[in-house]
Amino acid sequence: MSRRVKLTVAYDGTDYCGWQIQPNGITVEEVLNKKISKLTGEDIRIIGASRTDSGVHALGNVAVFDTESSIPPERMAYALNQKLPDDIVIRQSYQVPDDWHPRYQDHVVKTYEYHICNAPVPNPLKRRYSTHVSFPMDVEAMKKGAAYLIGEHDFVSFCNIKTNVEDTVRTVYALDIMQEGEDITLRITGNGFLYNMVRIIAGTLIRVGRGFYEPERVKEILDEKVRTAAGVTAPPNGLVLVEIGYDDSENGGYSEEERR
């Protein structure tokens, strides 16, 4: 009997051409398809929740696949982790309803973090997971600029011009900027994000932090509704998809105990 298994996937995206299968290089989706197919003896094609870009990392991306394997769904994570490379890990696996889809749910909450190393010279131990900014940054100014992005807005100024969607309105529930020593973290939570949206927000707030933009410029960029008004797209290595949250009812109503 076929079952749908949900996976929570973490990966270091440095050596991958993003999540989605493409002809120009290896991707996370491609590796998962091959390893799950080998494990189950089936031709598996997973469905992912978020198609992260080349070089972007994740702690909590979500994917599902259908299988008739006798391996218990909650044990699938352990079995797969024996076969996956060290830079991809299944953090959790469990069964969901057959029609449950990771992208088409009524209430989805996504959280990303963008990491900046703000120091005079780069730290080679942080180069894979943070973007280096050598000039001093005003974090308080960044916080003031970030406040304009909270709420429901048309974020067309903050998305790649190649974005192929008609509706560019999104809701940002929270956008926090935290500093600990030379490490600055932008943590953003919303109901969804446009192509390159978080990286463009990060690039714009970095310009605020460096003094190129006043914090009020962020509101002006929103109002102008044109991509060229915003800052550059920040590099991918600083971006991490932290979590994708769903209502329990949309997960099939299973409790945490039932999912373990």
- 80 to each of 36, 56, 157, 181, 240, how far by Cα in Å? 7, 22, 41, 38, 22
User: In the predicted model, what is the mean pLDDT of residues 112-125?
Assistant: 97
Q: What is the pLDDT of residues 40-59, one digit of tens each?
A: 999 999 999 999 999 999 99
| E strand residue ranges, 121-231 | 131-133, 151-154, 169-180, 183-190
User: In the predicted model, what is the mean pLDDT of residues 248-253?
Assistant: 45
244: nearest Cα among 19, 21, 17 = 19
Show binding-site residues: 112
209: nearest Cα among 173, 234, 236 = 234
186: left (phi over 0), alpha (psi -120 to 50) or beta: beta
Residue 64, pLDDT > 80, answer yes
- 28 to each of 34, 48, 59, 77, 164, how far by Cα in Å? 10, 10, 13, 16, 22
Whole-angstrom Cα distance, residue 87 to residue 10? 8
Show binding-site residues for substrate: 112
Whole-angstrom Cα distance, residue 217 to residue 210? 13
| CB atoms inside a 10 Å sphere around CB 42 | 15
The one-letter amino acid at 32: L
Please state the pTM of the whole predicted model. 0.92
Whole-angstrom Cα distance, residue 191 to residue 205? 20
Residue ranges of domains in the chain, CATH in brackets: 3-97 (3.30.70.580), 108-241 (3.30.70.660)
Q: What is the pLDDT of residues 139-182, one digit of tens each?
A: 999 999 999 999 999 999 999 987 788 899 999 999 999 999 99
User: Which residues are the active-site residues?
Assistant: 53
What are the φ/ψ torsions at residue 246 (nearest 5 degrees)? Answer: -130, 155
Residues 6+ apart with CB under 8 A from 190: 109, 110, 170, 171, 172, 173
Q: Quick one: pLDDT at residue 163?
A: 79
Whole-angstrom Cα distance, residue 213 to residue 114? 19
